[in-house]
Every structure is written in C-alpha cells, then in structure tokens.
C-alpha cells in the first residue's frame, strides 16, 4: 500500500503539510516555541548523569565491527515468537536511560505518540500504528543487551563522526574507529550519495524493529518503515547533517521522518494515558498490518 493510495480517502494529505499555521502543525506539538527548548536538554537536569553515562558507553563501543556483530546476532529473528501487542506490553518494563525528558515506562510514550497522530491524521491508520510501535525494538534490553546499544540517538559508523552527534566533543575519545584511517574521513567506507540503506548505523532499537518488520512481511508502507528505521537519527533529520551520504530516495523520505519527529518528541509529558482503554483500537491496527505471532 502506498501513501498516495491512502491519501485518496477524505480529510487526508498526500504529504505532510508544513507547520505555517495549519491545524496539523499546531496540534502536533501543543506547546509553545519557548517550551520546545526544554526538550532534549543534554546539559543539566535530574537525569543528566544517567543520560551522559549511557552516551559515553555508546560512543566508546559502537564501532563498525561491533555493529556488524549485532546485525549477525539479531538479523535471523530467532530470539522469540510473540505478537506485536505482547512485545508492546513488554515496554512496561523499560525506562529509556538515554532520554533526558521522561522517567516513566516506554509503553506510555508509545500511546502518547500514537494518540496525538490519531488526532491530527485520523485517516492514516498506518501512521498511528507507527507512532505506537516505533520504540518496540527496545525489547532488546530485556534480552540482555545493555541500553547503550539499544536506545539513544543513532548515527553512521564507518565514517567521520560529525559534530552534530550528541556529546560529540566529550565521549568519543576511546572509540577505536576514531583514529582508524579507513573510517576517519568524511565518507569513510562509503561512496558519495550511496543511500542510507547502504550505511551502517550505530546499533539500536530502530534498526532492530525495522529488521523484524521486514522479516515478518508486515504491511506498513515504506514511509512508515523509514520513520521506524531513522527516527533516532537526529543528526540527520533535525541537524541536517550526513546529506552527503543520502540518495534522492532518502531526501524524499526526510520530510516524513521530520513530521514523525514532532509527535515522537513533543508528546512526552507526565499526563499518562489509560493503556487498557486504548488497546482495543490499536489491536485492530496491529491485526491489519502486523498480524499473528511474529519472529523476533
């Protein structure tokens, strides 16, 4: 199913609208410009030490060799069989140690994101489901993976670490790829405009869930798969970096990833939804796009 097909239904847009006063742009955030600056504060706050330590470990140990090893470990999706709802409910046990904004289980954030998308895009049920599922890959942390290789912002390995990466100036000094001539240039082991599908990203929940959805033949459109695969790639979709590695397809998809980010980021608050009340609606979406038991 393509976005152009779903867009023919009433009250839908074939592409994400801009935020210049339109209802969608205002509703997605529901906060003022002044309040927005309080999100993603990596410099101080009650969670600062935890967040900084998570990124320090990530930036020390995420190397080309490490990422290739994790792909080998998890690409077969042979860890478990469970439904998507069962995996989603497992997020009740996970508090993201890289997140400076919230300190409650990830399952609440999943429904917060999905419900705001539902209000703004009532006709795009696949987009609502993406909001619900985007962090389900964090289930890796329940299977023995440390959070520094599950959560947090992602970025390419195998080329120069750009300044737009969080804590770039203070946490990479012990990463062996930093001084490896194969990986320390602007393009490193990649060709110009090779496309993000040919780039090794730091390992985490984005790439893992994308792999699960592809392996199980889930029916989300490619726009939704892009949102899931790259929603943590803040140096790209928010800072505008790594464009030298992007293909024309990546650039076309960027507006969808940026649109999704508004819901992912600015819906985080301590007003927690009633998960049991919302589950029946989202269960029908799961049955439509990701039915039955899946391989994980």
Give the pLDDT score at 25.
38
135 labelled binding-site residue: yes
40 labelled binding-site residue: yes
Give the pLDDT score at 24.
38
48 labelled binding-site residue: no
Give the pLDDT score at 32.
47
23 labelled binding-site residue: no
Give the pLDDT score at 37.
52
**Which one, of 289, 268, 286, lies nearest residue 87 by Cα?**
286
CA 32 to chain centre: 24
CA distances from residue 86 to 80, 145, 181, 194, 243 in whole angstroms, order as listed: 11, 19, 44, 37, 37
205 labelled binding-site residue: yes
152 labelled binding-site residue: yes
Give the pLDDT score at 93.
83
The span from the CA of 117 to the CA of 259, in Å, is 10
195 labelled binding-site residue: no
109 labelled binding-site residue: yes
Contact 279, 66 (CB under 8 A): no
**Which one, of 110, 151, 133, 96, lies nearest residue 267 by Cα?**
110
Give the pLDDT score at 107.
82
Contact 159, 186 (CB under 8 A): yes
The helix/strand/coil state of 94 is coil
Give the pLDDT score at 100.
59
The span from the CA of 169 to the CA of 186, in Å, is 17
CA distances from residue 54 to 17, 83, 98, 152, 233 in whole angstroms, order as listed: 35, 29, 6, 8, 16
Give the pLDDT score at 169.
95
| DSSP secondary structure code for residue 158 in this structure | S
Q: 168: which 2 tokens? A: 């770039």
197 labelled binding-site residue: no
Cβ neighbours for 246, distance < 8 A, ≥ 6 positions apart: 193, 195, 196, 236, 254
Report the chain (296 residues): mean pLDDT per 10 consecutive residues.
34 42 42 51 73 95 98 96 96 76 72 95 98 96 95 97 97 97 97 98 98 98 98 97 98 97 72 85 98 98
237 labelled binding-site residue: no
3 state SS for 50-75? HHHHHHHHHHHHCCHHHHHHHHHHHC
Instruction: Spell out the domain ranges in the chain.
Output: 46-295
The span from the CA of 229 to the CA of 249, in Å, is 14
138 labelled binding-site residue: yes
153 labelled binding-site residue: yes
* Contacts within 8 Å (CB) and 24+ apart, 234-237: 234/40, 234/153, 234/164, 234/166, 235/153, 235/155, 235/162, 235/164, 235/165, 237/261
- 């023995």: which residue's tokens? 144
Tell me the pTM: 0.85
**Residues, the chain:** 296
Give the pLDDT score at 94.
80
């Amino acid at each position: 199913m393509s976005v152009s097909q779903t867009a023919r239904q009433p009250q839908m847009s074939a592409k994400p609208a801009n935020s210049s006063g339109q209802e969608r742009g205002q509703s997605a955030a529901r906060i003022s410009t002044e309040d927005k600056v309080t999100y993603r504060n990596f410099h101080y706050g009650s969670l600062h030490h935890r967040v900084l330590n998570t990124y320090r470990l990530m930036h020390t140990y995420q190397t080309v060799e490490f990422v290739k090893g994790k792909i080998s470990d998890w690409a077969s999706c042979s860890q478990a069989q469970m439904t998507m709802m069962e995996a989603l409910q497992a997020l009740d046990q996970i508090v993201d140690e890289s997140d400076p904004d919230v300190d409650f289980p990830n399952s609440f954030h999943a429904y917060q994101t999905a419900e705001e998308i539902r209000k703004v895009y009532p006709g795009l049920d696949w987009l609502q489901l993406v909001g619900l599922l985007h962090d389900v890959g964090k289930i890796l942390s329940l299977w023995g993976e440390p959070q520094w290789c599950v959560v947090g912002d992602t970025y390419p390995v195998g080329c120069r670490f750009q300044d737009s990466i969080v804590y770039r100036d203070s946490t990479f000094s012990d990463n062996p790829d930093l001084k490896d001539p194969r990986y320390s240039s602007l393009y490193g082991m990649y060709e110009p405009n090779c496309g993000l599908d040919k780039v090794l990203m730091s390992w985490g929940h984005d790439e893992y869930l994308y792999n699960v959805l592809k392996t199980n033949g889930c029916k989300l459109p490619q726009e939704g798969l892009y949102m899931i695969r790259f929603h943590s790639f803040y140096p790209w979709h928010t800072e505008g970096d790594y464009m030298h590695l992007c293909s024309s397809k990546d650039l076309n998809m960027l507006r969808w990833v940026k649109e999704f980010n508004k819901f992912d980021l600015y819906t985080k608050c301590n007003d927690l939804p009633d998960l049991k009340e919302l589950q029946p609606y989202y269960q029908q979406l799961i049955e439509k796009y990701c039915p039955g038991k899946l391989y994980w």
